[in-house]
Structure 1
Amino acid sequence: MSEAFIPLHAIKGRGTATRLAHRFTKDVRDAWDDGWGTLEDAALDERPPETEVTFEDARSAIARNDSPDIYFDYSVNPYRGCEHGCVYCYARPTHSYLNLSPGLDFETRLIAKRNIVEALRTDLARRSYVPKMINIGSATDCYQPIERELRLTRGVIELMRDVRHPMALVTKSSGVERDLDLLAPMAADKLAAVYVTITTLDGAVARMLEPRAAAPHRRLRTIRTLAEAGVPVGVSLAPHIPFVTDDMEQVLEAAWEAGARSAFYHVIRLPWEVAPLFKQWLELHYPQRASRIMARIHEMRGGKDYDADFATRMKGSGLWSDLVRQRFEKASKRLGFNRERIELDISRFRPPSAPGQGSLF
């Protein structure tokens, strides 16, 4: 990937300022510095892009997972792309299948599945459907800013409540508090759990890593609000980035104090186009330690940017990975995390009527 001048104002509120060509692109064009400051002048004149939302009709709502290192079998994602703009997001390469850039397009050109509730109802009504816990927002955040207006996630949760289907969700947004009127009664029936991601307590670092997500202190308040409402709440420390998000113990302590009682972590994953985007981000924000950070990542990935092996992709391998694991386990044990597993009740599920199917009574 060629170097390009990127002024800091161009990425204010965004994780990246480049429309990196995706892996299926046949023709790649890149700007060229002619020595007269052309690139610099053009970048200074360019306005930060606004968020665009388009709609699609999903053929099915439930995505099935057969990866042995993921704790859920079913997931539902109301949105493609994510306005939070987390530079490390492993879902960025999925925009390549839409002929869009995993870079700036991923966080500015969003796709909303407007029929997600109807599609989910159809899936749940199938005779062949075997109920298992459903994770909402496993790829992109189900409470990203456009949810305030579109309310697709709320519609999904309302359906899950009506059919008494167990669900969990992971978010970086305080927007989940809006739906406490649904989540709290479901939690009382062992049908709902929430995990809040906090990568670091350092607000300045979080603004660079996750520019449009809630601030760390706000996420802690969300954990407290959920816990006080009786919702089982956990904290996700994913991803751990060496020498960037190195306050693991402090995050766990703050989350425990706020009311979280379960915790997990992953180390940073750099599949496909995420690797060059992250390296560019490092050169912009951490130029003096970029090579050191990548060296530690390579140490956890067998000398590569990323290794997709199921046995190691979440936690990595090698000495550095083992040290991170020991830190997490010792801090979690000291505080009391994960002593009791969050158990949701699948026996309460009652299949809905298929769309268009009337009742005989």
Structure 2
Amino acid sequence: MKGNGHIKGRGAQLQVNNRFSLHSYEMRDDFLNYCAAEGDEAIDSKTSFIDTFPKTIVNKVSSPDVGLEFSLNPYQGCEHGCVYCYARNSHEYWGYGAGLDFEQKILVKRNAVELLENKLRSKSWKASPIILSGNTDCYQPVERKLEITRQLLQTFLKYKHPVGIITKNALIQRDIDILEELAKDNLVRVNLSITSLDERIRQLLEPRTASIKKRLQTLERLSEKGIPVNVMMAPIIPSINSHEILPLVKEISERGACGVGYTVVRLNGAIGGIFSDWIRKTMPDRAEKVLHQIAECHNGNLNDSRFGTRMKGEGQFAEQVAQQFAIARKKYLSGRERPVLDCDLHEQYKDGQMKLF
């Protein structure tokens, strides 16, 4: 922990009590003073991994403005530690907090591959793109060791089933061999998150993600291999990355992106307090300005839960962002289209091999 109270290598800067828990705790000043005097850390910064064995793995997405119908998350919680992450609140349903717990207590779904295979073989299942992950990153650091995402992709390939990927980790390059085979049959699309071109901003917002340089290299390499990549500039945060829209879209167009999307930051649930605490510690000179501008996008609140407006925001700033993206797409991505994934091929491979008769 730095002298200014900033916890190095973490997005959230505090523990947050679970709103569903009957009990809560707080750190007393005398305890913090004791830790400082002894040179000890008041908060354990180590990451722990917890094995789980769920009964189902493919989730039906009911939100009408998310842009996906089914998702699959091999991990819950995310060591990337993006301070703005909307998924933080979901950790409370597992009995943990949305702050540091979300980054330090990672649930691993050990039977994910078996559950997916059972789903794809089911006679009642009709092929529809399943998105990895939709909630937490399927290529977060522990994937390098466990390779659950790689095994899931091998399963999608075996059954010729369409799959989408959302990630901000260059580790996806490891699986280019599988992604190339999926792309040959129009069965895969990658959504690569690139929030900023400024590495200093990346380190503060997304402390354990791949560097901007590596993400741009990833975009370029995937595109060269014929794997369609859409870039998500999400979220747009006023006075932090909102000035980068045109230069970022120009950069990704030169690297081969087939499209770009965005969201305007919204600080739902416990994230409002987590983000406010974070920005006052990391960017004290502009904290109040940023929080005020975020509220301007959501009718005076840090969050807006209304379908249709929550992702893009409202008001003058949100309109300016929408206009900039319209200009950027026209100028740099004109004529490029994201492919529609093939949902017809899977029926012939329900048992893992092509039906001849």
TM-score band by shorter chain is over 0.9
Q: RMSD of aligned C-alpha atoms?
A: 2.2
**Aligned partner (choices 242, 245, 254) of residue 248 of structure 1:** 245
Give the deviation of 1:240 after TM superposition.
0.5
Aligned length: 351
Q: Is the 8 A contact 1:10 1:43 kept in 2?
A: no
Residue identity in the other structure for 1:202? D
Q: Is the 8 A contact 2:6 2:282 kept in 1?
A: no
Q: Quick one: distance in 2 between partners of 1:314 and 1:349?
A: 32
Q: Is the 8 A contact 2:180 2:226 kept in 1?
A: yes
Residue identity in the other structure for 1:279? S
Q: Quick one: distance in 2 between partners of 1:338 and 1:64?
A: 32
**Aligned partner (choices 281, 292, 300) of residue 278 of structure 2:** 281
CA deviations over 1:212-233 (Å, ceiling 9, x no partner): 1001111000000101111011
Gaps in structure 2 of 5+ consecutive residues: none
Q: Quick one: distance in 1 between partners of 2:102 and 2:96?
A: 7
Q: Is the 8 A contact 1:80 1:110 kept in 2?
A: yes
TM-score relative to the length of structure 1: 0.92
CA deviations over 1:42-91 (Å, ceiling 9, x no partner): 69520752111111112111100121112110111100000100000000
**Aligned partner (choices 34, 41, 56) of residue 36 of structure 2:** 41
1:68 and 2:64 aligned: yes
Identity, in percent, stands at 36
Aligned residue number for residue 183 of structure 1: 179
Q: Report SS of the residue matched to 1:195.
A: strand
Residue identity in the other structure for 2:309? T
Q: Is the 8 A contact 1:7 1:43 kept in 2?
A: no
**Aligned partner (choices 293, 298, 302) of residue 301 of structure 1:** 298
Residue identity in the other structure for 2:50? T
Q: Report SS of the residue matched to 2:28.
A: coil
Aligned residue number for residue 188 of structure 2: 192
Aligned residue number for residue 210 of structure 1: 206
Question: Which residues in structure 2 correspond to 1:311-326 (within 5 Å)?
Answer: 311-326=308-323
Change (3 A) 1:77 1:339: same
Aligned residue number for residue 25 of structure 2: 29
**Aligned partner (choices 251, 255, 260) of residue 257 of structure 2:** 260
Aligned residue number for residue 146 of structure 2: 150
Change (3 A) 1:333 1:238: same
Q: Is the 8 A contact 2:230 2:338 kept in 1?
A: no
Give the deviation of 1:290 after TM superposition.
1.0
Q: Quick one: distance in 1 between partners of 2:138 and 2:32?
A: 42
TM-score relative to the length of structure 2: 0.93
Q: Report SS of the residue matched to 1:346.
A: coil
Q: Report SS of the residue matched to 1:329.
A: helix
